[in-house]
């Protein structure tokens, strides 16, 4: 399996490091030995190598902030030219998320699929905005589009849904944003919102501009993916009711556990007859709810389906290597489907 990476930032590097550590095991266990034949990044340049770029060398180049063209001819090619010339079977789309347009990822994905290349992405934008269209395009072209990393990073949610579940999921409810969960956990322990946010920023959990997390846009994109692609809805971002955590009363958050409750930012979607709805907002959950027990940057999701009732999955929802694991899991799923 020949891979072309478009975007070689934190997740790309995390993926390369996980491959470096576990490549031998994957080869032995599954006969799976992917080869990275191209890497293209706006900041770090481009390298093409039909024989394959060694993960160790790629990792070192990232750590040394070296231009990738030192590793193989790359020049000033655009992403589309790299995808075409690489001869790759799978394109890993790992560029930054734009929740309004889905670009540049949406164009990269459409181009790759129409050129009959499988795509693995961790980018929420294109999947939230154009998921069904892109999946149909993949099918038309006889290739796969997988996006495990988009909702719970490395926690295998879609693999579970794809391979472990045989009846329709009726409802999903989750803590899908680790940053806000971390802030709420700290507020419950007595910090103000501003102090908790500053700590999240210091630890690298929150961006300098935290709007996407604290106002619920990130969770909205994730619940939109689940509403449309798991519950088979047809929702747009404007159809999802959204409220963030910035208006929560800190005293309320701190006192809730004394009353057997805990405040969480909950993203929820459900199918009711022919309708699917979705919303994001703070909720006061009873401590008996498994979601109320999930603290810090962890993510969790409860799936409701017959005859299992409620099934809750808890795991890491962010981090370069964790998300790199999702990329590798998607590649392995494609490999196993092909073999």
Ligand X SMILES: NC(=O)c1ccc[n+]([C@@H]2O[C@H](COP(=O)([O-])OP(=O)(O)OC[C@H]3O[C@@H](n4cnc5c(N)ncnc54)[C@H](OP(=O)(O)O)[C@@H]3O)[C@@H](O)[C@H]2O)c1
Interface ranges with ligand X (CB under 6 A):
6-12, 40-43, 79, 94-97, 104, 122-124, 149, 153, 318-320, 323
**What is the rounded CA–CA span in Å between residue 198 and residue 76?**
39
> Which residue among 144, 191, 222, 264 is the active-site one?
222
Q: Which is nearer to ligand X, 134 or 285 (CB)?
A: 134
**What is the rounded CA–CA span in Å between residue 170 and residue 277?**
11
Q: Which is nearer to ligand X, 80 or 277 (CB)?
A: 80
Q: Where are the beta strands (DSSP E) in 122-260?
A: 145-146, 169-175, 241-242
Does the annotation count 222 as an active-site position?
Answer: yes
Long-range contacts, stretch 205-214, CB < 8 angstroms, 24+ apart:
205/178, 205/179, 205/297, 205/318, 206/179, 210/179, 212/99, 213/177, 213/179, 213/180, 214/179, 214/180, 214/183, 214/244, 214/245, 214/246
Q: Which is nearer to ligand X, 43 or 170 (CB)?
A: 43
Q: Supply the minimum distance, in Å, between the C-beta of residue 224 and ligand X.
A: 14
Q: Which is nearer to ligand X, 122 or 181 (CB)?
A: 122
Whether residue 11 contacts residue 322, with contact meaning beta carbons closer than 8 Å, is answered with no
Q: Which is nearer to ligand X, 225 or 278 (CB)?
A: 225
Would you say the C-alpha torsion 14, 41, 317, 215 has a positive or negative sign?
Answer: positive
Q: Supply the minimum distance, in Å, between the C-beta of residue 122 and ligand X.
A: 4
Q: Supply the minimum distance, in Å, between the C-beta of residue 159 and ligand X.
A: 15
Q: Supply the minimum distance, in Å, between the C-beta of residue 70 and ligand X.
A: 16
Nearest Cα to Cα of residue 123 among 330, 336, 335: 330
User: By beta-carbon distance, which residue lies closest to ligand X?
Assistant: 9
Q: Supply the minimum distance, in Å, between the C-beta of residue 117 and ligand X.
A: 16
Catalytic (active-site) positions: 222
């Amino acid at each position: 399996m020949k891979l072309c990476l478009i975007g070689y930032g934190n997740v790309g590097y995390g993926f390369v490091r996980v491959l470096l550590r576990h490549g031998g095991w994957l080869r032995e266990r599954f006969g799976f030995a992917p080869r990275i034949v191209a890497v293209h990044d706006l900041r770090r340049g481009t390298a093409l190598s039909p024989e394959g770029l060694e993960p160790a060398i790629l990792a070192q180049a990232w750590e040394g902030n070296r231009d990738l063209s030192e590793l193989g001819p790359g020049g000033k090619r655009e992403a589309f030219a790299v995808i075409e010339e690489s001869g790759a079977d799978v394109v890993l789309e790992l560029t930054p998320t734009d929740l309004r347009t889905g670009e540049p990822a949406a164009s990269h994905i459409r181009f790759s699929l129409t050129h009959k290349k499988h795509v693995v992405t961790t980018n929420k934008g294109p999947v939230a905005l154009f998921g069904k269209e892109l999946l149909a395009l993949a099918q038309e072209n006889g290739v796969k589009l997988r996006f495990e990393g988009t909702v719970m990073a490395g926690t295998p949610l879609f693999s579970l849904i794809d391979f472990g579940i045989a009846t329709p999921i009726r409802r999903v409810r989750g803590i899908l944003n680790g940053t806000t969960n971390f802030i709420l956990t700290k507020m419950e322990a007595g910090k103000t919102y501003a102090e908790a946010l500053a700590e999240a920023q210091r630890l690298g959990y929150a961006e300098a501009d935290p709007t996407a997390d604290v106002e619920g846009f990130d969770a909205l994109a994730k619940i939109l993916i689940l509403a449309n692609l798991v519950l088979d809805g047809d929702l747009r971002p404007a159809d999802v009711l959204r409220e963030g955590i910035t208006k929560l009363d800190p005293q309320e958050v701190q006192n809730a556990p004394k009353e057997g409750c805990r405040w969480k930012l909950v993203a929820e979607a459900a199918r009711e007859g022919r309708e699917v709805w979705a919303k994001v907002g703070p909720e006061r959950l009873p401590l008996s709810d498994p979601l109320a027990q999930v603290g810090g940057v962890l993510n969790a999701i409860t799936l409701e389906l017959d005859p299992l009732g409620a099934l809750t999955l808890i795991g890491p929802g962010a981090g370069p290597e964790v998300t790199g694991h999702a990329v590798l899991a998607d590649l392995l799923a494609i490999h196993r489907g092909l073999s």
